[in-house]
Structure 1
Amino acid sequence: MRKRGLDTGAHLLAGGCVAVPVARGLRVCTDGRRIWWVVWDSQRRGEPLLAMHITVEGAADHLLKHLAVIERRQAAEVLHLPV
């Protein structure tokens, strides 16, 4: 993520997993083999979307797409506009 301009810190969780907060409402977890996160997507009628990758590059590319959506939503919330 640093290669893509995001400076994040890591937090050790129980069971040896690590969590990395990426944005408000978006935390990425890993167990050293898999990388996953949950996105609350309004297009799915409030149901969570679980994303999982086994490569750092794949996860980073997918996360950047999710971040773009989150940033648009947060900007719309500030302006009180529908997304």
Structure 2
Amino acid sequence: MVVDDSSGVVEGGPADQAGIEAGDVITAIDGRPITQTDEPIVAIRAKAAGDDVVLTVQHGDSSEDITVTLGSSDEVTYEQP
């Protein structure tokens, strides 16, 4: 799953706080490889706000595991461009 635009990472949200940026490629969640585009959504929805997930993220030529503490959608303000 590629975080391919600025709306993919909400400023101040959990992904932003963990250091995930537009252009990063999420290749696994909790050690499970992502093979279909809906897998991240299904995996995240199976968790609760406050749970930690470990995302394997590819930044260019390097890859790292990043722990993200999930927030609630009530905690994020979305703005229309």
* TM-score, length-scaled by structure 2: 0.28
* TM-score, length-scaled by structure 1: 0.27
- Largest Rg, 1 or 2: 1
